[in-house]
Structure 1
């Protein structure tokens, strides 16, 4: 379920003081989006520029994603925003980033943004996976995939794994990607495979979505049986997330993952 949104101004004064020590006096703050994985998500304006702040209560079950994102940020320039500060105090875990200029990517079938996303995924595939502790793809999927198929997902590539179009920002110089809290180590083709589900959710047929994924070089290394196993795992994963009465946002992903798995299964022996 989406997290309840908290205004930046509701953070403790001590926490806001520490943020201002890093970026200067905040003159305005506006919440961004509906709130999925963060309690605070705000654009801040200071005399020196604009910043993006995201925060979770320190005892939240996803607070570990804040630490992961803070640790990996230094390895991601120029495909991701710069991290200016992390503040952990008075029950809050806060990250302060560069605010990217641009708009969320459009994944619909005729969008000109799709080629920018192909370029972005290609660039991510060229980054070496940093020598830090990351979750492994086969471990993340083990509850949803047959044990005999987990080897398909293993590897040493750096993966983002959350290709929600809201995380891809289209700017003057192409696409950049935010929200690296679920960064993962695994098979190099998996980010393109995660993208397939979001493309179907945006209106592509499974065939069209796979054609776009095939433009990413890493996709071409994927065995067909591995792609099918991944589609099955994600159909199970999203069905589990959706439960018996998913909201409209989740139902769209449940249906997309199920549609892709049905397509892949249709030509398996």
Structure 2
């Protein structure tokens, strides 16, 4: 479920004091809405630069995702905003990242952002996840949606995956940057390309167009056909669950944007899958500044 946004002044005095000790002289504070998993979401302007600061109470499962974001940051140089410091005091967990003065990526057909995102994903596909950070496994996350347990072997691997390639998680500045790494996963190198393909479909590409864009990625070009087929099936099953009867806005917000390109055997699923993801995109809250 989402959390009500809060500001710096709402934090306990000890938390504010510790943030001040880390950040230095704060000259400006701006509230930013950046998702529903972190009730504290700010841009801090300080004597030493600008930071994007996010935080939440250290309770429940969401703390694990935010800790993962901080711990994975050193392995993402040039791929994501760098985490500079954290505060964990009096029941609050707060992280400061370099502030990227960018905009949300545009995924529509013909967008000039697409080559930048492709370059980002190509670089990411060569990153090996650290052994000392606990990550979910791709085959675990998809286990409830495959048509056969044997399909899960296609998703196993030792590449660091983001797995939520929706355009609101990509910032465009001097290059493309990936944000919100709470769902970082270990799996096959081609999976992030597959997640991206369905995001492109949701943003107006046909399946053929989306797969053509992904052809610039070596990991996608070498993806096993049976694996892509298995992923397409799992994605349809997943999205039927997300948008099915009884689905709540909170459930949708907490679900990562998932999918895959659809090979010929599953072209009949493409319209259904595209409409399911497009419905999610229309209903999920977009990142925007809070006035």
Normalized against structure 1, the TM-score is what?
A: 0.89
Which of 154, 157, 170 does residue 156 from structure 2 map onto? 154
Give a deviation string over 1:84-125, Cα, whole Å, max 9, x none. Answer: 112122222111111112111111112100000000001111
Query: How far apart, CA to CA, are the structure 2 residues paired with 1:19 and 1:207?
Result: 49
Count of residue pairs the alignment pairs up: 265
CA contact (8 A) 1:242 1:254 kept: no
CA contact (8 A) 2:137 2:187 kept: yes
Equivalent positions of 1:138-217 (< 5 A) are 138-145=139-146, 146-172=148-174, 174-217=175-218
Q: 1:255 to 1:220 in 2, by over 3 A?
A: closer
Query: How far apart, CA to CA, are the structure 2 residues paired with 1:15 and 1:76?
Result: 27
CA contact (8 A) 2:157 2:186 kept: yes
Question: Could you tell me how far 1:194 is from its partner in structure 2?
Answer: 0.7
Give a deviation string over 1:68-98, Cα, whole Å, max 9, x none. Answer: 1111111111211111112122222111111
Normalized against structure 2, the TM-score is what?
A: 0.82
Q: 1:150 to 1:79 in 2, by over 3 A?
A: same
Q: 1:187 to 1:262 in 2, by over 3 A?
A: closer
Query: How far apart, CA to CA, are the structure 1 residues paired with 2:213 and 2:49?
Result: 36
Give the structure 2 partner of residue 18 of structure 1.
Answer: 18
Q: Which structure would you say has the larger RCO, counting Cα contacts within 8 Å and 6 or more residues apart?
A: 2
Equivalent positions of 1:1-269 (< 5 A) are 1-33=1-33, 35-132=35-132, 133-145=134-146, 146-172=148-174, 174-244=175-245, 247=249, 250=252, 265-266=266-267
Question: Could you tell me how far 1:25 is from its partner in structure 2?
Answer: 2.6
CA contact (8 A) 1:5 1:34 kept: no
CA contact (8 A) 2:231 2:259 kept: no
Q: 1:234 to 1:267 in 2, by over 3 A?
A: closer
Question: Could you tell me how far 1:67 is from its partner in structure 2?
Answer: 1.4
CA contact (8 A) 2:107 2:200 kept: yes
Q: 1:207 to 1:254 in 2, by over 3 A?
A: farther
Query: How far apart, CA to CA, are the structure 1 residues paired with 2:244 and 2:91?
Result: 31
Give a deviation string over 1:32-57, Cα, whole Å, max 9, x none. Answer: 23633221221111122110011122
Query: How far apart, CA to CA, are the structure 2 residues paired with 1:263 and 1:89?
Result: 53
CA contact (8 A) 2:108 2:204 kept: yes
Q: 1:264 to 1:42 in 2, by over 3 A?
A: farther
Give the structure 1 partner of residue 272 of structure 2.
Answer: none
Question: Could you tell me how far 1:256 is from its partner in structure 2?
Answer: 9.0
Q: Cα RMSD (Å) of the superposition? A: 2.7
CA contact (8 A) 1:42 1:52 kept: yes
SS in 1 for 2:125: helix
Query: How far apart, CA to CA, are the structure 2 residues paired with 1:99 and 1:159?
Result: 22
CA contact (8 A) 1:38 1:55 kept: yes
User: Segments of 4+ in structure 1 off by > 6 A?
Assistant: 253-256
